[in-house]
């Protein structure tokens, strides 16, 4: 059986299974993987120097590409910075650019490099090599390519997660979403940490991460049973704009109160919705044409 056939067979058997059975199977698989990991760690000391036992060395653990994230990225078209800023906020989900990207070829190079990051799992260093010419031409300091790398890769991952979380089968079983801020998060995200809203609440149109440069926050799904089990409560009002007193991420000191609001142009599931169901009416004739040509070219590839 080829890996492709195996994948199809597994997916087919999952869709025929009822959810309890699937949960049982998954939890047993996770337990088995954990025990196997413990076994490997426990026996490691006895391995001949530098050699893995054959049954472990044989295992192929190449991570799988994140299909939904790649699809989101490939649904975008690279455009110049000028064109980009003329677009309405939501339409920007369908385009890629960066400030200083005045020539289309330069934008295209960076776009292609991020595509490789998503498809082949390039590291930041490899990404920098790919766009060496752009970095040189624009005189970018290190943090600039770092930020473009993180922002766009995380955005694509979030779009991919959002796509999975809004799958009707997942929504039916896990209808609540919880915001999870990373430790040391910026003041914007601290105020949202662990807040729970229904998945279909308009709250997420504004507050789906990422919400600022280097934002590593995420959204996790919850079932009704989990709410009960952990005694979690669902927010009943939108706290956007309410005053909140954040702590300095470095010192822990209280900062002056400020309204809860993501910086303009950041965050929100509205852009993902637009990406999955493009409305091109906000595009100029020329951009619309390019978008359609690009989509047709990719569909044919």
Using CB atoms within 10 Å of the CB of residue 210, give its burial: 0 to 12 exposed, 13 to 18 middle, 19+ buried: buried
Shortest separation between residue 207's beta carbon and Zn ion, angstroms: 10
Residue 268 gets the label, from left (phi > 0), alpha (psi -120 to 50) or beta, of left
Shortest separation between residue 189's beta carbon and Zn ion, angstroms: 3
Please identify, using beta-carbon distances, which residue of 111 and 204 lies nearer to Zn ion: 204
Upstream peptide bond of 183 is cis (omega within 30 degrees of 0): no
Please identify, using beta-carbon distances, which residue of 156 and 211 lies nearer to Zn ion: 211
Shortest separation between residue 160's beta carbon and Zn ion, angstroms: 18
Q: Is 93 helix (H, G, I), strand (E, B) or coil?
A: helix
58 φ, ψ to 5°? -70, -25
Shortest separation between residue 253's beta carbon and Zn ion, angstroms: 20
Please identify, using beta-carbon distances, which residue of 160 and 191 lies nearer to Zn ion: 191
Q: Which residues bind Zn ion (CB under 5 A)?
A: 185, 189, 211, 215, 217
Please identify, using beta-carbon distances, which residue of 40 and 261 lies nearer to Zn ion: 261
CA atoms within 13 A on the CB side of 4: 0
Please identify, using beta-carbon distances, which residue of 113 and 217 lies nearer to Zn ion: 217
205, two tokens: 């149109």
Shortest separation between residue 192's beta carbon and Zn ion, angstroms: 8
Residue 193 gets the label, from left (phi > 0), alpha (psi -120 to 50) or beta, of beta
Which distant-in-sequence residues (6+ apart) come within 8 Å of 74 by Cβ?
A: 115, 298
């Amino acid at each position: 059986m080829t890996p492709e056939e195996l994948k199809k067979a597994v997916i087919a058997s999952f869709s025929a299974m009822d959810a309890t059975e699937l949960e049982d199977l998954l939890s047993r698989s996770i337990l088995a993987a954990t025990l196997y990991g413990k076994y490997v760690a426990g026996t490691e000391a006895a391995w001949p120097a530098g050699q893995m036992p054959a049954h472990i060395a044989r295992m192929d653990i190449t991570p799988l590409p994140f299909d939904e994230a790649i699809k989101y990225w490939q649904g975008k078209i690279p455009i110049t910075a000028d064109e980009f800023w003329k677009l309405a906020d939501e339409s920007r989900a369908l385009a890629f650019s960066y400030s200083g990207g005045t020539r289309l070829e330069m934008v295209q190079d960076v776009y292609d490099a991020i595509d490789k990051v998503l498809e082949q799992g390039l590291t930041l260093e490899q990404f920098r090599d790919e766009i060496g010419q752009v970095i040189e031409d624009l005189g970018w300091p290190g943090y600039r390519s770092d930020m473009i790398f993180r922002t766009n890769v995380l955005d694509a991952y979030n779009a991919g997660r959002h796509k999975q979380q809004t799958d009707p089968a997942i929504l039916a079983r896990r209808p609540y979403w919880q915001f999870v801020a990373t430790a040391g998060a910026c003041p914007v995200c601290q105020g949202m940490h662990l807040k729970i809203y229904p998945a279909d609440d308009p709250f997420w149109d504004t507050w789906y991460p990422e919400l600022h440069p280097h934002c590593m926050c995420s959204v996790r799904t919850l079932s009704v049973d989990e709410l009960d089990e952990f005694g979690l409560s669902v927010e009943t009002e939108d706290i956007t704009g309410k005053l909140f007193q954040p702590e300095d991420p470095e010192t822990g000191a209280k900062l002056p109160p400020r309204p809860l609001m993501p910086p303009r142009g950041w965050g929100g599931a509205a852009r993902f919705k637009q990406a999955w169901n493009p409305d091109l009416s906000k595009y100029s004739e020329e951009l619309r044409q390019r978008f359609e040509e690009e989509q047709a070219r990719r569909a044919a590839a």
